[in-house]
Each structure stands twice: as C-alpha cells, then as structure tokens.
Amino acid sequence: MSDLLDTLDPKPLWHYFLELSKIPRSSKQEGAAAAWVAAQGRALGCQVEQDAVGNVLIRKPATPGREGRPAVALQCHVDMVCEKNEGTVHDFAVDPIRVRRDGDVLRASGTTLGADNGVGVAAGLAVLAAGDLAHPPLELLVTVDEETGLTGANNLRAGWLKATTLLNLDSEEEGELTIGCAGGVDTQARRALAVTAAPAGLAALRLKVAGLKGGHSGIDIAAGRGNSIRLLAQVLEAVREKHGLLLASVAGGNKRNAIPREASAVVLCAPARQAALAADVARLAGEWRAALGSFDPGLAITLEPGAAAPVMSEADARAVLGLLLAGPHGVEAMSPDIAGLVQTSTNMGLVETRDGAVEVNFLTRSSIDASKHALAARIAALAGVAGFTATHSGGYPGWKPEPGARVVTLVDGVHRELYGKPMVIKAIHAGLECGLIGEKYPGMEMASLGPSMWDVHTPDEHVSIPSVKNFWALLAAVLGRL
C-alpha cells in the first residue's frame, strides 16, 4: 500500500489507516487491532492502559504552556462491520482489507472498507504522533465491539477518563457536528421447529433475493430501500401454497445493524411445478423492482438448485412467514422537534435457521426511551402470538443534545473561520458511544465530527479523500483552542 500512501494527504493519518487495514478487526475479534493501537501509543512515548474488555486509553501530556488546561478526550472504536458481496473471496478473520483509490474516494475490493471507524482511529493516532500540534492534556480512548453491542463503551469504568470534554471521531459527513443520538435495544425471537425428512421425488430449490443496497440500519432506515428478508417472505407467501412448496429453511442478513441486502430460502417442489414456479418468481421480481424503483434498482429474485434438507411442518412455515411479514421494519415515528429526524424505527436485520429453530433479530432505535421500550415490547408480543419466544438484549441509552455546550460553540466557530460557513448541527438516528459515555461521566461536554463517507456497513463503503484532509485541519485547529 506504500504507492497508495504517496497519493494521500495528510500522510500521518493515512499511514495509520492503511496499517490498521492490514489487521483483521471484526467486532468481538478485534483484539489484535486493539493491541496494535496500544503498541503505537507506547512507540510514541505515551502512557498506555488497557481494561478488561479490551478498550485502550492512551494519554499524552499537554504541549508546553498548556499544562493547566482541562484535559480533552478523543474517542473512536477499532472494530468494523465485515460485509462482502457473495462472489467476493475474502476471509475477514485473516485477510487484510484491499484498499484502492477511485478518483477522490477510497474503497475496498468487494468488502466493507472499515473507514467506519478506522479513519477516527487513524486521526487519533496521528494527533498523538504530531510534534507541531498545540493541545491541552490529551486522552485517546479506543473502544472495542461498538458495532455489535457497544460492548467497550458499555463496560467503560467511571473515573478512568480525566477529560471534561470529549470529541467523538465517528461521524460520517464533513461539515456536520453531531450532538445527540438515538438509543437502541435488540429483540431476538426464536421458534423451535418440528422437522421431518425431505420427501422423495421433490426438487430442492433455493429462492434468493439479492442486489439490494442495504445500508446503515439507523442512518439509512428512511431511505426507502428494500429489506431482503421482508421481500423473501412476501414472495414465499405468494407462491408457497399455490405451488405446494415445502419450506426447509430461511436465512437473510449478516449484521443486526445493517439493512439486509440478501436473503434466501430452501424449498422443495414437485418437478412438474418448477416451470410454473419459475415463471411466477420472474413475474414477482419484475413487480418488486418496479415497486422499489430508484430506491433499489438492483433487486434480483432468482431460483437456483438447492440442497435437500429436512422440512418444516405446515404450522411452522405459516408461523415463520407470518412473523417475517408482520414484524416491523422501517420508520415508526418522526421527530416532532427536529425536521427530517427519525425518532423511532426498527430494523428486521437477521433471520437464520439452525439447530432445529428459526431465529429473527430486530434492532429498535429511538431518541425517546419510552418509545424504544414500547416498540420492543410490541415486537415481543407479536412474536409470542406467532409462537416465538422473545428476549431483549443490548439496550443502550440515547445522547441528549446540548446545543449550547461550549464545545459545540467552539467547534462551530473554528469551522466558520476555516471554511467560511457554519456547521450543520444535528442529532442522528443511530447509536453513538457518547450516550453510554455520558451516562458514566455526567456533565462531560461532547460532540462528534468526521469526514464524509457513504454506504457504510456495505461493500460499497467509500470515504472522501479531500474531506479527510478538511476533517484533520478542523480537528487540529479545535485542539489548539481547547
């Protein structure tokens, strides 16, 4: 990647990003990457600590003359969402991310890039490495397992940080300053299956939904994109009884916090019905492409040979499809206070058939705790009606906006000086670790900033190279004022 680095600026930041990209760091398996971060801090002569869950805290003294100023924390997470296209050969447990430049953006080759939040980690390390950057006493907090449960932030111990101001480096739009976010909770619904051996003489087929954009289950939930799990259920509902199909399994989605792009079901069909079934699937694919239109033009619904497997009972098939059809997905309510902000939503993000059961995962988000809990309870009640057992996990609080905080005014003012325009100050419908950190450190002033990146949590993830340069300039200038 050395040739690529020669084309990028600022080089210290991109150096750390490209080095981090060589280290596998899927959520819950980011130990090697966290150890690498700690090693970089020690190599720079900083004080380094690591807690029991793997979070890394690196402290750097203030530049001369600023020792008496309040400490400032920079915060980011080291794990990444690991998504790849079905045809991409890549093992996230061992393979490095293959980073490539495409004009003014960086991409990966068929996988997620990890700019979320690798750019934040790289920026924090570049700040520690900078010898010409004025700053107060600094703390760089790099957390683990943000993407699949906010585990690092959730287990952060009170009193570890000394800072009174925190800059989160996990935002995704240049010129925007995030000052609030939604909380969330997972609901897992599980139903044990009564299965029997596949009857002889039937053809095993795989009904597949693919080609959708997917996206972040909070940021993109109102973008009108298709949910592959819901579409699969709708197609199955239209053809299952008509063609006498037996349902063996359903599977879809890869991450609880990503809108599912692909889903499939294994069905058994009488050979005499295959041609008629294929014609119906082709017709339904055309209808759903027209329905989604420009929101998701790449939709493909196909039939292909499958592997024979034990089949569900009729009661199980009805219950499973019933929950997938009736379970909520998408926007539940918009904010009455902030125009365009989703207040409450659910992502039906995962379905899996394994160990004699079907499991469905819903991630509910809301900036209003009461709404979050009410919708999660409704999902559990619906699951119960369908004969599923529901449990809740992974709950985390939202982050209440404080637009009058000193750090908000300061960052906005520096941006005006550098770029001649105010920042867009907003709250987002996504989970940031600031909610959990603020719960453990009451009174800490916080704001979140970052460069422009798009299609995060998907293999189309890409980051703007010029915006990273501007993000770095803003961060350096802000630290000089704090």
Q: Is residue 314 annotated as part of the catalytic site, yes or no?
A: no
Q: Where does residue 19 fall: left (phi above 0), alpha (psi -120 to 50 degrees), or beta otherwise?
A: alpha
Q: How confident is the model at residue 2 (pLDDT cuts 50, 70, 90)?
A: low
Q: Where does residue 420 fall: left (phi above 0), alpha (psi -120 to 50 degrees), or beta otherwise?
A: left
Question: Under a CB-based contact definition with an 8 Å cutoff, are residues 75 and 166 in contact?
Answer: yes
Question: What dihedral angle (degrees, nearest 10) is formed by the CA atoms of 22, 84, 113, 347?
Answer: -130
Q: What is the pLDDT of residue 257?
A: 87
Mean pLDDT, the chain, as a whole number? 95
Closest to 471 measured CA to CA, from 425, 415, 426, 406: 415
Q: Residue 274 pLDDT > 80, yes or no?
A: yes
**Cβ of 34: how many Cβ atoms within 10 Å?**
25
Catalytic residue among 79, 172, 262, 332, which?
A: 79
Q: Residue 283 pLDDT > 90, yes or no?
A: yes
Write out the two tokens for 186.
């997972």
Catalytic residue among 30, 116, 145, 146, which?
A: 146
pLDDT, one tens digit per residue, over 125-171 is 999 999 999 999 999 999 999 998 789 999 999 999 999 999 999 99
pLDDT, one tens digit per residue, over 248-264 is 999 999 888 899 999 99
Domains within the chain, CATH numbers bracketed: 2-181+398-481 (3.40.630.10), 185-396 (3.30.70.360)
* Stretch 85-111: mean pLDDT: 95
Q: What is the pLDDT of residue 31?
A: 97
How far does Cα 136 stand from its chain's mean position? 32
Q: What is the pLDDT of residue 256?
A: 87
Q: Is residue 332 annotated as part of the catalytic site, yes or no?
A: no
282: part of which helix (H) or strand (E)?
helix 274-292
Q: What is the pLDDT of residue 432?
A: 85
Q: What is the pLDDT of residue 383?
A: 98
Question: Under a CB-based contact definition with an 8 Å cutoff, are residues 228 and 250 in contact?
Answer: no
Q: What is the pLDDT of residue 452?
A: 98
- Which of the two residues, 302 and 430, has the higher pLDDT score? 302
Give the phi and the psi of residue 141 in degrees, each rounded to 5.
-105, 115
In this prediction the pTM is 0.73
Q: At what angle do helices 115-129 and 31-43 cross, to 10 degrees?
A: 20
